């Protein structure tokens, strides 16, 4: 077996990219020793992109997750790899997107390859070129390492010619796989080959009258006028239907790994069968779950019921989006605004743990199982992380009614004079995001309630205890213990109901931070004033 054979499962870091890397290593090991010959090609990982629209949050997720598998594969085997970001820009324009200019102009090009459709934005030679450029800029902005590939370029340059000829040789076998999955009308016209009309350039979905594998051509009839054409499948004169196209690409390029969404399970299975018919081995891969909106419905680009990358990055740093994508890819997750604060703090927690392991020069698997190790490409920068959690900043913004970052920095500097935007750039980033998130989500939802008799007594007690610390330097742990003692003294059962009181009565929200840490950051005198204001409300019956 080749040196790419993976480590035993028990030796792997407990992180899903390493489990996927083991599958990839096994696949490469089989491929590299096939036919008794050593194939030393780098492992090829692929992601696909349909350039009829702009890059979206799913694009980020697939490239990020595949990149982490690649990172784990390198750590596991020491062998080289490549990541190919493949654009299906020879696909036909099926409908005009809602979010583009010159929609009437685009209507005239329905059925044309995207790479032949004019750019409605007027910045590139084609609609596909515009969206491909946006894809590359999008991926570059996150620092992904990849190679861009254009379907049009691969078809027209002859890169797929040998594989396309092979498709003709096994044309009937491919039909036997695909036809049972189609309705009666579609079966009547289906062929894995889609010739381009020599006059109109349209991608034709028509039945093949004859297949000439030796000549590398197909014969077909134009349904609009009965004219018969003989079209070579090579040189960009034809392309494949997408399931056959996927299989042909795996076969032609020797793709070793490609992940895909749960909605493509059947397509992966069919393309895998076609790949084997062609004489190739389907790649290893991961089936990831789809994202859900705030109502638990599947996110749809056409419905616009999800959260965009731009929206996420308005409220939290890109590392937090990486954390969201890293978490349990095979489990459906809500992708909505309310997940952002928790995910941001989860990322910060992992950074703190990873820094400790990195400082200790940990040789075990703990560091490599940490999501921050993947998000930061194997090395955690010294200035990563934040001394103040994102949720704490949100609560500080809430009680201070912060409309600018400077308001929050006033409290932060008083809490720790050594902290500044220059010394803690991630904190500076979080402060800006917290102000934006507070303005858009926290402030509109704030609802204060009056305390009950029990809560009123406990709050008065807490205020009196806190006055004893005014003018002194009290740390968060001491203040947290004080809050606990007051809650116990007033017999809250369960004790968490005391903290619910603090959040709802003092902060106007259902959840909140460790209250001792909040007091230390906001200030003892300011917290006492907050309690005094709450006590002026009428007692809740």
Strand partners, 306: none
3-class DSSP state for residue 47?
strand
33 in Cβ contact with 3 (< 8 Å): no
pLDDT band at 55 (very low <50, low <70, confident <90, very high): confident
Which distant-in-sequence residues (6+ apart) come within 8 Å of 412 by Cβ? 388, 419, 427, 431, 521
The answer to whether the peptide bond before residue 480 is cis (omega within 30 degrees of 0) is no
Residues 483 and 502: their CA atoms lie apart, in Å, by 10
Please give the pLDDT value at position 308: 86
- Quick one: which of 238, 218, 85, 87 has its CA closest to 158? 238
Q: What pLDDT is recorded for position 63?
A: 96
pLDDT over 70 (residue 373): yes
Query: Please, what is the average pLDDT of the chain?
Result: 92
pLDDT above 60 (res 472): yes
Split at pLDDT 50, 70, 90, the class of 2 is very low
pLDDT at position 3: 43
* pLDDT above 50: residue 434: yes
Give dist(CA 379, CA 67) in Å, integer: 15
Question: CATH classification of 14-156, choosing from 3.40.190.10, 3.60.15.10, 3.30.930.10, 3.40.50.620?
Answer: 3.40.50.620
Query: What span, in angstroms and rounded, lies between the C-alpha atoms of 376 and 374?
Result: 5
Please state the three-class secondary structure of 195-219 as a single string.
EECCCCCCECCCCEEEEECCCCEEE
Residue 4 has pLDDT above 50, yes or no: no
pLDDT range class, residue 473, cuts 50, 70, 90? confident
- For residue 260, what pLDDT is reported? 96
Residues 6+ positions from 493 with CB-CB distance below 8 Å: none
Q: Which secondary structure element, helix H or strand E, spans residue 70, and what is its range? A: helix 57-77
H helices of 360-490, where? 371-375, 390-400, 405-415, 425-437, 443-445, 453-467, 476-489
Phi, psi dihedral angles at 84 (to 5 degrees): -105, 120
Mean pLDDT, range 220-227, rounded to an integer: 96
Residue 231, helix vs strand vs coil = strand
Q: pLDDT tens-digit profile of 283-339?
A: 999 999 988 877 777 776 555 556 889 999 999 999 999 999 999 999 998 899 999
- pLDDT band (50, 70, 90) for residue 271: very high
CATH 1.10.3720.10 fits 451-534, yes or no: no
Percent of the chain with pLDDT over 90: 79
3-state secondary structure labels for all residues of 159-199: CCHHHHHHHHHCHHHHHHHHHHHCCHHHHHHCCCEEEECCC
The per-residue pLDDT for 10 is: 57
Highest mean pLDDT among 32-36, 103-107, 148-152: 148-152
Interval 7-35: pLDDT, tens: 555 578 999 999 999 999 999 988 766 55
Q: What is the spatial order of strands in the sheet that 43-49 belongs to?
A: 43-49, 81-87, 147-150
Nearest to 24 by CA among 309, 338, 255, 343: 255
Length of the chain measured in residues: 541
pLDDT at residue 159, as a whole number: 97
On the question of pLDDT at 540 being above 80, the answer is: no
Q: What is the 3-state secondary structure (H, E, C) of 71-109?
A: HHHHHHHCCCEEEEEEECCCCECCCCCCCCCCHHHHHCC
Angle at 324 between CA 23 and CA 268, to 5 degrees: 40
301 annotated as a binding-site residue: yes
pLDDT of residue 509: 87
**pLDDT score at 34:** 57
Q: Which residues pair with 161 in a beta bridge?
A: none
Question: What is the C-alpha separation between 143 and 322, in angstroms, rounded?
Answer: 12
**3 state SS of 516:** helix
Integer Cα distance of 425 and 419 in angstroms: 10
Yes or no: say if 384 and 355 are a contact pair by the CB < 8 Å rule.
yes
User: Shortest CA distance to 258 belongs to which of 11, 267, 76?
Assistant: 267
Q: What is the pLDDT of residue 1?
A: 37
Q: Summarize the confidence of residues 230-248 as an average pLDDT.
A: 97
Once rounded to an integer, what is the mean pLDDT over residues 167-175? 97
Counting Cα atoms < 13 Å in the Cβ hemisphere of 509 gives: 18
Coil vs helix vs strand at 48 = strand
**Cβ within 8 Å of residue 280, ≥6 positions away:** 247, 250, 251, 254
Mean pLDDT along residues 227-256: 97
pLDDT at residue 300, rounded to an integer:
63
Residue 445, pLDDT > 60, answer: yes
CA distance 166 to 136: 32
């Amino acid at each position: 077996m080749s040196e790419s054979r993976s480590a035993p499962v028990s030796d792997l870091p407990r992180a899903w990219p390493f489990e996927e890397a083991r599958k990839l290593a096994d696949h490469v090991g089989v491929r590299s020793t096939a036919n008794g010959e050593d194939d030393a090609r780098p492992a090829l990982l692929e992601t696909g992109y349909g350039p009829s629209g702009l890059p979206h949050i799913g694009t980020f997720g697939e490239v990020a997750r595949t990149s982490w598998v690649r990172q784990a594969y390198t750590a596991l085997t020491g062998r080289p790899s490549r990541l190919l970001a493949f654009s299906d820009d020879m696909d036909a324009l099926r409908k005009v997107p809602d979010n583009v200019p010159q929609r009437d102009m685009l209507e005239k090009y329905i059925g044309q390859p995207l790479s032949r459709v004019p750019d409605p934005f007027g910045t590139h030679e084609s609609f596909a070129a515009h969206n491909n450029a946006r894809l590359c800029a999008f991926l570059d902005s996150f620092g992904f390492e990849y190679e861009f590939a254009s379907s049009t370029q691969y078809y027209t340059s002859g890169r797929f010619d040998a594989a396309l000829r092979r498709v003709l040789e096994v044309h009937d076998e491919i039909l036997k796989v695909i036809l049972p999955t189609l309705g009666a009308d579609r079966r009547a016209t289906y062929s894995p080959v889609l010739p381009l009309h020599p006059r109109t350039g349209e991608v034709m979905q028509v039945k093949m009258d004859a297949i000439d594998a030796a000549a590398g051509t197909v014969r077909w009839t134009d349904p609009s006028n009965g004219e018969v054409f003989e079209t070579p499948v090579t040189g960009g004169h034809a392309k494949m239907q997408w399931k056959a196209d996927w299989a042909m690409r795996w076969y032609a390029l020797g793709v070793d790994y490609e992940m895909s969404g749960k909605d493509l399970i059947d397509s992966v299975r069919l393309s895998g069968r076609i790949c084997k018919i062609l004489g190739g081995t389907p790649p290893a891969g991961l089936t990831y779950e789809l994202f859900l909106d705030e109502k638990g419905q599947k996110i749809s680009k056409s419905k616009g019921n999800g959260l965009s990358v731009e929206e996420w990055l308005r409220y939290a740093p890109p590392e937090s989006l990486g954390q969201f994508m890293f978490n349990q890819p095979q489990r459906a997750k809500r992708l909505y605004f309310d997940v952002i604060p928790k995910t941001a703090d989860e990322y910060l927690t992992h950074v703190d743990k990873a820094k400790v392991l990195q400082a200790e020069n940990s040789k075990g698997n703990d560091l490599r199982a940490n999501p921050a190790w993947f998000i930061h490409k194997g090395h955690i920068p010294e200035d990563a992380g934040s001394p103040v959690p994102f949720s704490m900043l949100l609560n500080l913004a809430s009680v201070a009614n912060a409309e600018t970052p400077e308001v929050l920095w006033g409290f932060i500097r008083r809490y720790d004079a050594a902290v500044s935007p220059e010394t803690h750039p991630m904190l500076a980033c979080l402060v800006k995001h917290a102000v934006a998130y507070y303005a858009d989500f926290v402030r509109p939802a704030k609802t204060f309630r009056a305390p009950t008799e029990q809560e009123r007594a406990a709050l008065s007690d807490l205020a009196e205890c806190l006055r004893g610390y005014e003018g002194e330097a009290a740390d968060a742990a001491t203040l947290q213990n004080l809050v606990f003692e007051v809650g116990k003294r007033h017999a809250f059962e369960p004790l968490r109901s005391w903290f619910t009181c603090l959040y709802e009565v003092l902060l106007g929200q259902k959840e909140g931070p460790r209250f001792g840490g909040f007091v230390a950051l906001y200030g003892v005198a300011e917290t006492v004033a907050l309690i005094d204001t709450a006590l002026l409300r009428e007692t809740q019956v």
